Amino acid sequence: MKKTPTRLADGRELIYYDLRDDAVRDAVDRRPLERTVTTSEIRRDVLLGDSVAVASHRQGRTYLPPADECPLCPSRGDRLSEIPDSSYDVVVFENRFPSLAGDSGRCEVVCFTSDHNASFADLSEEQARLVLDAWTDRTAELSHLPAVEQVFCFENRGQEIGVTLGHPHGQIYAYPFTTPRTALMLRSLAAHKEANGGENLFDAVLERELAGRRVVLRAEHWVAFVPYAAHWPYEVHLYPRRRVPDLLALDEAARTEFPQVYLELLRRFDRIFGDREAPTPYIAAWHQAPFGAMEKFDEGAALSRDDFALHLELFTIRRTSGKLKFLAGSESGMNVFINDVPPEAAAQRLREVASS
């Protein structure tokens, strides 16, 4: 992997990640952009104990442009985009309309390929590995920023999810706090450790799933399963068999095998409903240990970052062909999910649509 950092016309950072070591990236952003001004603010909800990012400048972000005006395609001729070069492998750059900025963290865009009509599932294993390397590199870099406590790499796919740019891409959020979902995991982790003689809860969950009916894929270094209490109709958790706290700690064997396993999972998601004209919308979310202090989540047992288990959660909001799972009263009002598809049935379906 070759890494080439540069700057866009408004001062934002952009980084090319190339498969070839001889790639030259010297194109200049020719757009007449003024420096980005953001209004991101973190407000604390004292009743719920969580945080809300208020970012009014995002109202003006680009919304569903036609393909020939896509800002994530390479710049060619007089059509200038966020990527100054005429081609690229993988690119990461600071979001022009970030939810988090400055002391409130940072938001980045990850372009998986220059092919506007592709998806992550269409990538070669070599290209998918390059994306993994980019996620890992950005996690390392962002973790050193003074304001950052947790790094979250994710992909939203499909207009049903709320995607406003059709080009295959994901995002990275660097939060100035530990997110509520991770905090819940850490408190459960500490309580289980205290109550069970130091046993790791992630290890116990993985062992239980490996012995059950919800495993979707088994590989030498990774395992994918539908969790016992899945929130979404089709939800898969992907774990490395060797517990590590973050992407940085994956060994070479796990990195090499990851593209094979992950691409197969994504392709199965596209086959769940058998509708070639309507690709499955999904969210793919990496869960990594926070880089902040762990003791604030202790419930009697001391925690370290090594207690956390890196994993990816992949889920779709579609519950059956042509129908979406909406977060209505119980889910949105009380955070109690109601799942229409038994996890065992979802796992069976995902096994049935294996590649030929």
Residues catalogued as catalytic: 169
Residue 239 corresponds to which tokens in the numbers above? Answer: 């774990």
Reduce the DSSP state of residue 94 to 3 states and report it: strand
Q: What's the burial of 107, exposed, middle or buried (CB within 10 Å: 0-12/13-18/19+)? A: buried
Q: Which of the 8 DSSP states describes residue 83?
A: B
- How far apart, in whole angstroms, are the C-alpha atoms of residue 224 and residue 326? 25
Biggest CA pair distance of the chain:
65
- How far apart, in whole angstroms, are the C-alpha atoms of residue 200 and residue 205? 9
Secondary element (H or E) of residue 319: strand 318-320
Contact 23, 46 (CB under 8 A): no
Q: How many CB atoms lie within 10 A of CB 204?
A: 12
Residue 179 corresponds to which tokens in the numbers above? Answer: 């997110």
* Distant-in-sequence contacts of 15-19, Cβ < 8 A, 24+ apart: 15/91, 15/92, 15/93, 15/134, 16/85, 16/88, 16/89, 16/90, 16/91, 17/89, 17/90, 17/91, 17/92, 17/130, 17/133, 17/134, 17/137, 18/88, 18/89, 18/90, 19/89, 19/126, 19/127, 19/130
Q: Hey, which residues does 155 pair with through a beta bridge?
A: 284
Residue 191 corresponds to which tokens in the numbers above? Answer: 């309580």
DSSP string, 213-266: S-EEEE-SSEEEE--TT-SSSEEEEEEESS--SSGGG--HHHHHHHHHHHHHHH
Determine the residue type at 94. E
